[in-house]
Amino acid sequence: MRKYLYFGILPFLFAMQNCTNNPNTEYYSIDDYATVEKYDSHVHINSLNPAFIEFAKASKFKLLSLNVAAPEYRPIEEQQDVTVAQRNLHEGLLSYASSFHIENIDDPLWQKNTIEYLRQSFKKGATGVKVWKNIGMEYKDSAGDFVMIDDPRLDPIWDFIEANNKTLVGHLGEPKNCWLPLDQMTVANDKEYFESHPEYHMFLHPEFPSYQNQIDARDNMLAKHPGLRFVGAHLGSLEWSLDELAKTLDKYPNMAVDMAERISHIQYQTIQNHQKVHDFFLKYQDRILYSTDIVFDDSAPADYLIEQAGALWKRHWAFFTSDQTMEAPELKESFQSLHLPKEVIDKLYHSNAKKWFPAAIN
């Protein structure tokens, strides 16, 4: 008897849950992945090998490659040459964001030289400028102080980007996990990264600026430059709390975020409160850009990198579009996918990239 009751109530509960959805809402299927036009707005193409961009094309992906002043990458001037060469080979498939050197910020000619470099980048077609955590977490000026993102010496650079109607992309600070010991980090990808990059693991460097110092400096820069279009890379380093991210997006209307290498944090939060994550995506559907942080260089065989990228893109597509229980290598527990409506997916995967990087290809 009890058994019948149990099986009898399940379809009823299921129907109750479903009737909160509009029956006219349209959804993509997993198979639609192969045909829907998509955009990955955070990759790093550091190779002249055309294989990855051709694979992206076959997967219906267009790409935004970000130049980064990272010590493990080739110099930013060479990165720019590589991305421009690839862009010219693959017209309409690839766009790029330039970057600049922070060293010599004390040099009286630094501002003029930096603006000139960016002017040349914009002539070459750069759609924006990327800044990295060397600002705030690595570089110290001649006085021995960290140069933070709200440093007044940087203001003319932000003004120049805004005057040229380009976008600033900021990887500023790190996930909050970076300030925790390895065994307390919430997702495996952070654990792996900081284990292999102890120089950026802030738990080991308590004398460096704090997590909050990084967030405050970013907010202060945005408050000083309300007209500057800003995309906070990696969920704006507010990946640990969609509530905090929502407050920041409300406060700075000219800010959007990309999801690069932080989708595991979104998945992690669905385990605690799936509805909240779903609602966040509906509410901020115009402010979030699909992106991965895929790096394509010559450090590993192209076939291997392409296979990894394809698996990652497909797993993410399943997470955002389908309605199922899933697993991901970054998380110990399984989680429920987001099943977002078609129109939201189209924004995350395409039209938001066009909106926030208007100089990019469409």
Give the tokens for residue 146: 């960290």
CA atoms within 13 A on the CB side of 32: 16
Inter-residue contact 146 to 136 (CB < 8 Å): yes
Among 40, 239, 293, 330, binds Zn ion (CB under 5 A): 293
Looking at the Cβ atoms of 133 and 166, the one nearer to Zn ion is: 133
Considering only 18-26, 270-278, 279-287, 289-297, which stretch makes contact with Zn ion by CB under 5 A? Answer: 289-297
CA distance 107 to 116: 15
Residue 289's φ and ψ, nearest 5 degrees, are -115, 130
Looking at the Cβ atoms of 127 and 321, the one nearer to Zn ion is: 127
Inter-residue contact 321 to 339 (CB < 8 Å): yes
Question: CB 23: neighbour CB atoms within 10 A?
Answer: 6
Considering only 15-23, 184-192, 247-255, 292-300, which stretch makes contact with Zn ion by CB under 5 A? Answer: 292-300
State the minimum distance, in angstroms, from the CB of residue 70 to Zn ion. 8
Considering only 1-9, 109-117, 240-248, 287-295, which stretch makes contact with Zn ion by CB under 5 A? Answer: 287-295
Contacts of 78 (CB under 8 A, 6+ apart): none
Give the tokens for residue 129: 């400028």
State the minimum distance, in angstroms, from the CB of residue 271 to Zn ion. 26
Considering only 180-188, 237-245, 288-296, 331-339, which stretch makes contact with Zn ion by CB under 5 A? Answer: 288-296
How many residues sit in the footprint of Zn ion (CB under 5 A)? Answer: 1
State the minimum distance, in angstroms, from the CB of residue 42 to Zn ion. 6
Residue type, 56: A
Looking at the Cβ atoms of 162 and 293, the one nearer to Zn ion is: 293
Looking at the Cβ atoms of 285 and 292, the one nearer to Zn ion is: 292
Question: Nearest to Zn ion by Cβ — which residue?
Answer: 293
Rg (CA), the chain: 21
Looking at the Cβ atoms of 69 and 344, the one nearer to Zn ion is: 69
Pairing state between β 167-170 and 128-131: parallel
Looking at the Cβ atoms of 40 and 293, the one nearer to Zn ion is: 293
Looking at the Cβ atoms of 166 and 234, the one nearer to Zn ion is: 234
65 - beta bridge partners? 43, 96
CA distance 360 to 362: 6
Question: What is the DSSP annotation of 199-211?
Answer: GG-GGG-TTSPPH
Considering only 75-83, 267-275, 283-291, 293-301, which stretch makes contact with Zn ion by CB under 5 A? Answer: 293-301
CA distance 342 to 39: 15
State the minimum distance, in angstroms, from the CB of residue 261 to Zn ion. 7
Q: Which long-range contacts (CB under 8 A, 24 or more apart) does 270-276 make?
A: 270/335, 270/336, 270/338, 271/331, 271/333, 271/335, 274/335, 274/336, 276/242
CA distance 64 to 81: 15
151 near Zn ion (CB under 5 A)? no
Looking at the Cβ atoms of 232 and 341, the one nearer to Zn ion is: 232
Considering only 12-20, 185-193, 218-226, 286-294, which stretch makes contact with Zn ion by CB under 5 A? Answer: 286-294
Q: What DSSP state is assigned to residue 184?
A: G
State the minimum distance, in angstroms, from the CB of residue 22 to Zn ion. 37
State the minimum distance, in angstroms, from the CB of residue 134 to Zn ion. 13
Looking at the Cβ atoms of 196 and 275, the one nearer to Zn ion is: 196
Considering only 132-140, 180-188, 245-253, 291-299, which stretch makes contact with Zn ion by CB under 5 A? Answer: 291-299
**Residues binding Zn ion (CB under 5 A):** 293
